[in-house]
Amino acid sequence: IRLLTLYPCNNEDDEIACTLEQHDFDKAIPTFIALSYVWGSLEDPKTILVNGCTTTVTSNLHAALRHIRHDKVEKIIWIDALCIDQENAEEKARQIPLMRDIYLVAHHVLAWLGEAAAPGVESADRKATFTDIISRPYWNRVWVIQEFVLGR
């Protein structure tokens, strides 16, 4: 499998930079996080640097990476859109059955529900907060069941 190393940043607006490395799933692999998220719209693509090359990602994945990255520590992550070659049908056919095992061995699964609806607003209205959370597009995905049940 491939794992993405997400590099730290000095400030939130820094370009997202990472490396993608191949690991033998049958041997020792580094501790990693598996990201569970919705790909989102392809209408407003963003760019990140992967192995020094500009790569296009959805705005939702870009937002997730921006929030996940740390200011001092690298993070190792498995993300389907980047760790599986989406242009290669043979690879996708081999990798998709491995997703169950990937979520099982991940140190933990991080569910990205999307940007906060209203940053800084207190959750005094619990019903509105709950409604906002359960109405996110994330919950419309069938894959969520596997990712939640298998993840830590």
Contact between 45 and 57 (Cβ < 8 Å): yes
Q: What is the pTM of this model?
A: 0.77
Contact between 22 and 83 (Cβ < 8 Å): no
Instruction: Give pLDDT tens digits for 117-142.
Output: 655 555 566 666 555 555 555 555 55
What is the C-alpha to C-alpha distance for residues 96 and 32, in angstroms, rounded to an integer?
Answer: 18
Residue with tokens 């992550």: 77
Instruction: Give pLDDT tens digits for 79-108.
Output: 999 999 888 999 988 988 888 888 889 998
What's the token pair of residue 30? 């580094």
Domain ranges across the chain: 2-150
